[in-house]
């Protein structure tokens, strides 16, 4: 078979069209931060910066082990990793759409086309190629949008890890708080029941009124109730830890009992950045930024699909064999087929798709700004809570120290015969109440620290994720 004469001209035209693909409009620029305050309004007194292993200064030896275990076993992180794998595959598929497609086909055939004709046999194998030439950048915009979503998926995984780390810390420290309160409540219950028994004996002897004895019984019942509540809370937080770490509750209970630790006294964090720089500190904000960029690229691609032509190129080459009544023919076959499609009129379908993409982009941009402003508010609230909790913990410790001195004085008076056993027990109960309040203040103090850690982005490092995503970018 002779080659087609206009082939060089056709190839030259295709080369010219391919050069036009460099005329695509540039992708949208990153979103600028909204108008945010230039400085934090909440007071700051931090001395240490937020480190990747922010839990180490808390001094709980079990916390780091539980965080690592949760990272390895958590189903929520496994889901985030699966979403990242799906987004990465989508990016690779979008990148592949820019390259030619090559395939091979083998097609033997035997049949009779019409009754007067004899049956014939043919065999044809071909190597086929197709290429959607991205003249104006629509496919590249879709590829870049897929890349932005893959980056956002990586950042979402980072955010899920930050949240998991903080939740594990919250659950562990809440369990330690409930465990300490349960032990105090057990001691308080013993003292309350001892007072109730002594008052009942005095009432029976006529020294105390029945109403006073009944009041002591009521106080003892309340002490038993508090003990049961704290035992329940300890069990609730144990189950929460088991879910977060994807571990057995019985194993965790043994591990917790073997490594007792008091509630830590965290040092204040130094908030080094201004509000507008939170983007570099929080993976969820960077993920929202990349999601907006993906939506903007989708809108860009939809507009190009609506207004620009699409060019595709198909070609095949192969060899065939035909057995006919007149003899057998063999030879080479080839074909080249460029196709240019122009959008003319589709009753508004493409225009509607472009409008929908633009609305999605506007929604993503508004969501990014709302998330940005919300992050600033979260840091401000965490700072306020931290300072209030710090002062409350100091006051609670001072109150407990006063009651401890009172209880020690009453104990000394009881040894000298100047105070009754009932007075000593009551002052001891007051000391337990003050100690319980100090424990509550300590937990609030730690909770405020963890809230600030979460608001600042945990131990996530922007540079590490940026390097990882750059290494996998197309």
| CB burial readout 434-451, b (16+ within 10 A) else e | bbbbbbebbbbbbbbbbb
Domains and CATH numbers, the chain: 38-99+141-307+359-472 (1.20.1600.10)
User: Per-residue confidence at 31, pLDDT binned at 50, 70, 90?
Assistant: low
- Residue-level length of the chain: 474
* Best mean pLDDT range from 232-241, 279-288, 422-431: 232-241
Which tokens go with 360? 């999605």
What pLDDT score does 47 carry?
74
Q: Which helix (DSSP H) or strand (DSSP E) does residue 48 occupy? A: none
Q: What is the share, in percent, of the chain residues with pLDDT greater than 70? A: 88
Asked if the model's pLDDT at residue 2 lies above 70, the reply is no
- Which range, of 175-184, 344-353, 391-400, averages the lowest pLDDT? 344-353
The SS3 call for residue 248 is coil
In this structure, are residues 314 and 100 in contact, taking their beta carbons and an 8 Å threshold? no
Asked if the model's pLDDT at residue 128 lies above 90, the reply is no
User: Per-residue confidence at 117, pLDDT binned at 50, 70, 90?
Assistant: low
For CA atoms 37, 42, 45, 50, give the dihedral sign: negative
Q: Give the distance between the most distant pair of CA atoms in the chain.
A: 134
Q: In whole angstroms, what separates CA 407 from the centre of its chain?
A: 49
What pLDDT score does 465 carry?
57
- pTM of the full structure: 0.85
Which tokens go with 130? 């197709």
- Which range, of 330-334, 409-413, 426-430, 459-463, averages the lowest pLDDT? 459-463
Asked if the model's pLDDT at residue 25 lies above 60, the reply is no
Average pLDDT over residues 204-228: 93
Which tokens go with 447? 């909770």
What pLDDT score does 11 carry?
47
- Across the chain, mean pLDDT equals 86
What pLDDT score does 145 carry?
93
The SS3 call for residue 120 is strand
Beta bridge partner(s), residue 106: 125
């Amino acid at each position: 078979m002779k080659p087609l004469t206009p082939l060089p001209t056709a190839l030259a035209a295709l080369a010219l069209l391919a050069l036009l693909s460099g005329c695509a409009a540039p992708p949208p620029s990153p979103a600028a931060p909204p108008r945010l305050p230039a400085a934090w309004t909440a007071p700051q007194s931090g001395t240490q910066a937020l480190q990747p292993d922010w839990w180490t200064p808390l001094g709980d030896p079990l916390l780091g082990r539980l965080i690592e275990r949760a990272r390895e076993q958590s189903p929520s992180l496994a889901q985030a990793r699966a979403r990242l794998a799906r987004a990465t595959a989508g990016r690779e598929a979008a990148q592949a759409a820019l390259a030619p497609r090559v395939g091979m086909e083998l097609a033997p055939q035997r049949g009779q086309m019409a009754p007067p004709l004899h049956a014939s046999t043919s065999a044809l194998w071909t190597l086929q190629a197709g290429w959607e030439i991205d003249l104006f950048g629509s496919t590249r915009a879709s590829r870049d949008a897929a890349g932005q979503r893959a980056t956002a998926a990586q950042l979402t995984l980072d955010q899920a890890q930050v949240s998991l780390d903080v939740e594990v810390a919250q659950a562990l420290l809440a369990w330690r708080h409930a465990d300490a309160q349960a032990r105090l409540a057990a001691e308080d219950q013993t003292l309350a029941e001892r007072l109730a028994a002594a008052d009942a004996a005095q009432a029976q002897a006529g020294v105390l009124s029945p109403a006073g004895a009944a009041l002591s019984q009521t106080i003892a019942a309340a002490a038993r109730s508090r003990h049961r509540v704290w035992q329940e809370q300890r069990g609730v937080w144990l189950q929460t830890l088991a879910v977060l770490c994807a571990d057995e509750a019985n194993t965790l209970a043994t591990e917790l009992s073997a490594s007792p630790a008091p509630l830590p006294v965290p040092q204040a964090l130094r908030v080094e950045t201004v509000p507008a720089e939170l983007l570099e500190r929080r993976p969820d904000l960077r993920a929202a930024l990349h999601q907006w960029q993906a939506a903007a690229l989708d809108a860009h691609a939809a507009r190009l699909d609506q207004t620009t032509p699409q060019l595709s190129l198909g070609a095949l080459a192969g060899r065939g064999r035909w057995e006919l009544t007149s003899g057998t023919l063999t030879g080479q076959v080839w074909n080249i087929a460029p196709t240019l499609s122009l959008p003319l009129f589709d009753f508004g379908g493409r225009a509607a798709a472009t409008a929908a993409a633009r609305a999605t982009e506007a929604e993503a941009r508004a969501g990014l700004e709302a998330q940005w402003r919300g992050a600033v508010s979260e840091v401000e609230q965490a700072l306020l809570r931290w300072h209030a909790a710090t002062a409350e913990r100091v006051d609670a410790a001072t109150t407990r120290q006063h009651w401890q001195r009172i209880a020690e004085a009453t104990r000394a008076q009881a040894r000298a015969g100047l105070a009754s056993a009932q007075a000593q027990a009551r002052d001891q109960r007051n000391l337990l109440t003050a100690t319980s309040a100090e424990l509550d203040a300590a937990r609030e103090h730690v909770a405020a620290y963890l809230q600030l850690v979460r608001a600042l982005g945990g131990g996530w490092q922007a540079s590490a994720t940026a390097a990882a995503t750059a290494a996998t970018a197309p």
